[in-house]
Amino acid sequence: MSIEMRRATINDLPRIVEIYNSTIESRLVTADTEPVTVESRTEWFLNHSDKRPIFLFLKNNAVAGWLSFETFYGRPAYGKTVEISLYLDESFRGVGLGDYAVTEMKRIANELNIETLLAFTFSHNTRALKLFMKHGFMTYGELPDVAIMDGNYYSLTILGCKIGGSTDGEH
């Protein structure tokens, strides 16, 4: 599969929001229950930087998905840890884009001097869990029944992956 990757610009925000909103109805990917707007996501977008970027994945010049790195918990001691978000357009799921995206995510994290990636994934999203675990993520914990959508309770699995360096806590 021929995929290109580039940094997102503010002009890409409508497409980023469109892909994000396409995942809401499934109740598999996000805890948002109603579509978000470009206006409501502008501050989120602008809070990203060279050290915490957003990337787009393009197939035949069409935006097929996006990846963001976000500061985790906002305390200095967590400076080398980031939360990642990965969203794929429905028409590009199941064709290898996720594998490519997670591989690139880890490469970029290494370049950004990030040591730990965290992914917060609904526990019933087995497809995402398998994708991340295939690429070296481990279960760091689970938050049982923390989300309520449509009267149903959902658990959240916290996945983590060490990038380079030691995995035993000693650096």
Q: How far apart are CA 29 and CA 33, in angstroms?
A: 11
pLDDT in tens, 36-95: 999 999 999 999 999 999 999 999 889 999 999 999 998 999 999 999 999 999 888 888
pLDDT > 90: what percent of the chain?
A: 86
Q: How far apart are CA 38 and CA 102, in angstroms?
A: 25
Residues 6+ apart with CB under 8 A from 50: none
Element of type H or E holding 5: strand 4-7
Question: Would the pLDDT of 25 be above 70?
Answer: yes
Q: How far apart are CA 102 and CA 149, in angstroms?
A: 28
Residue 82 Cα distances to 69, 79, 96, angstroms: 6, 8, 24
Question: Would the pLDDT of 5 be above 60?
Answer: yes
pLDDT at residue 166, rounded to an integer: 42
- Paired tokens of 116: 């730990």
Q: Please give the domain boundaries of the chain with CATH numbers for all domains.
A: 4-162 (3.40.630.30)
- Paired tokens of 119: 């992914």
Residues 6+ apart with CB under 8 A from 22: 89, 90
The pTM (predicted TM-score) of the whole model is 0.91
Task: Compute the average pLDDT of residues 8-29.
Answer: 95
Q: Do residues 151 and 171 lie in contact, with contact meaning Cβ atoms separated by under 8 Å?
A: no
